[in-house]
């Protein structure tokens, strides 16, 4: 556990066997404490969280938890430690839908199969996806967050900043007086947030880029992201992320121009920052995330009128 400033601490929650390595869970202390993001619903995460809370004198199930978004590494433990969960309405509804409705995963894997993802690997995804394995039932009270509303915890007055893109209902939290931004997975410094296709968003990448512009305007001295390093200029990092997606769009566009049409094929023509040298070496979940991000970029290009799409048994992107 690390003290960031008076009344604000970071618990580093391990994410075993996951390339993200760990989650930054932030705890605001005081008469009304708040936990921002939690880690997976697995024993190692729970032990780390309980250890940190014990040192701060905070009891589980008697504290508010705010999830910046629905992913299991941020929301997973909420059901075990939250008295009240704060989250955007759309992400809450999608999390419950994913937990309770197996048809959601069937529809999703069928969609990936139509984009060329091999059937034998899609069957693995339903068993190993973190959203299936590591999220707890949301039996606590739930409060839905609204863009622009202000919530007060400890010595912090936090404005909710809606930043759709990484998920449809992702939010950041901004303390204007302290110039502190809790960025969730909207801005990460050591890695680039995954921007995937969402059936509820017409253009997830376009939404993400607009959300970056929205946050760019904020006056921030300290950005606290969901993973890894948490010290750097948010504006410089936003500029780097925008450039990153510009290059990825160029690679996707060029792959289509050269004859690749399935997202599965096009993903293999894109440069990924991974430790594996060959596509075949990637674990199934890494391929899944790569194809999802490829689809998001292809849809952005399509909506810009740069490529077109044909939908039959397979979904193909064409010049």
Q: Torsion angle of alpha carbons 52, 58, 62, 67, nearest 10°?
A: -40
pLDDT average, residue stretch 91-116: 86
pLDDT of residue 200: 84
Say if residues 165 and 207 touch (Cβ distance below 8 Å): yes
pLDDT of residue 38: 97
pLDDT of residue 99: 62
pLDDT more than 90, % of the chain: 86
- Inter-CA distances, 172 with 69, 97, 207, 215, Å: 9, 23, 15, 9
How do residues 128-151 score in pLDDT, each as one tens digit? 998 888 988 888 999 999 999 999
Name residue 153's beta-bridge partners: 156
Q: What secondary structure, in 3-state letters, does the chain show?
A: CEEEECCEEEEEEECCCCCCCEEEEEEECCCCCEEECCCCCCHHHHHHHHHHHHHHCCCCCCEEEECCCCCHHHHCCHHHHEEEEEEEHHHHHHHHHHHHCHHHHHHHHHHHHHCCCCHHHHHHHHHHCHHHHCCCCCCCEEEEECCCCEEEECCEEEEEEECCCCCCCCEEEEECCCCEEEEECCCCCCCCCCCCCCCCCCCHHHHHHHHHHHHHCCCCCEEEECCCCCCCCHHHHHHHHHHHHHHHHHHHHHHHHCCCCCHHHHHCCCCCCCCCCCHHHCCHHHHHHHHHHHHHHHHHHHHCCCCEEEECCCEEEEC
**In which residue are the tokens 């979940």 written?**
285
CA atoms within a 13 Å half-sphere pointing along the CA-CB vector of 92: 19
Least confident piece of the model among 84-88, 105-109, 136-140, 230-234: 136-140
Homologous superfamily in CATH for domain 2-318: Ribonuclease Z/Hydroxyacylglutathione hydrolase-like (3.60.15.10)
How do residues 42-59 score in pLDDT, each as one tens digit? 999 999 999 999 999 999
Q: Would you say residue 36 has pLDDT above 90?
A: yes
CA atoms within a 13 Å half-sphere pointing along the CA-CB vector of 171: 27
CA distance 236 to 282: 31
**What are the backbone angles phi and psi of residue 243, rounded to the nearest 5°?**
-65, -40
Domain coordinates in residue numbering, the chain: 2-318
pLDDT average, residue stretch 247-270: 98
Total Cβ atoms within 10 A of residue 254? 13
Question: To 5 degrees, how large is the angle CA 198–CA 249–CA 310?
Answer: 60
pLDDT of residue 100: 59
Residue 3 makes CB contacts below 8 A (sequence gap 6+) with: 9
pLDDT of residue 276: 84
pLDDT of residue 135: 84
Arithmetic mean of pLDDT over the chain = 95
pLDDT of residue 104: 86
N-term to C-term CA, the chain: 52
CA distance 156 to 85: 18
How do residues 216-248 score in pLDDT, each as one tens digit? 999 999 999 999 998 889 999 999 999 999 999
CA distance 14 to 23: 6
pLDDT of residue 287: 96
What does the longest C-alpha to C-alpha distance in the chain come to?
A: 61
């Amino acid at each position: 556990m690390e003290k960031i400033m008076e009344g604000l601490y970071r618990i580093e929650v391990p994410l075993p066997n996951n390339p993200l390595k760990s989650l930054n869970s932030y705890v605001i202390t005081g008469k009304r404490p708040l936990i921002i993001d939690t880690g997976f619903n697995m024993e190692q995460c729970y032990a780390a969280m309980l250890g940190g809370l014990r040192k701060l004198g905070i009891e589980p199930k008697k504290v508010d938890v705010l999830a910046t978004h629905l992913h299991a590494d941020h929301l997973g433990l909420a059901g075990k430690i939250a008295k009240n969960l704060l989250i955007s309405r759309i992400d809450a509804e999608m999390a419950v839908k994913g937990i309770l409705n197996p048809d959601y995963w069937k529809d999703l894997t069928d969609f990936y199969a139509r984009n060329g993802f091999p059937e034998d690997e899609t069957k693995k995804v339903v068993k190993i996806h973190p959203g299936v394995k590591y999220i707890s039932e949301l039996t606590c009270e739930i409060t839905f967050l609204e863009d622009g509303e202000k919530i007060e915890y400890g010595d912090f007055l936090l404005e909710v900043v809606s930043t759709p893109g990484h998920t449809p209902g992702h939010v950041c939290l901004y303390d204007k007086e302290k110039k502190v931004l809790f960025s969730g997975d909207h801005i990460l410094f050591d890695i680039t947030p995954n921007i995937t296709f969402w059936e509820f968003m017409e253009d997830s990448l376009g939404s993400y880029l607009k959300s970056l512009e929205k946050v760019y305007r904020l006056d921030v001295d300290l950005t606290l992201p969901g993973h890894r390093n948490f010290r750097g200029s948010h504006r410089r990092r936003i500029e780097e992320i925008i450039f990153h997606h510009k290059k990825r769009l160029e690679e996707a566009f060029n792959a289509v121009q050269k004859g690749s049409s399935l997202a599965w094929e096009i993903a293999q023509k894109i440069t990924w920052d991974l430790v594996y040298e060959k596509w075949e070496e990637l674990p199934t979940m890494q391929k899944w995330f790569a194809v999802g991000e490829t689809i998001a970029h292809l849809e952005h290009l399509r909506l810009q009128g740069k490529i077109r799409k044909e939908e039959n048994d397979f979904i193909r992107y064409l010049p």
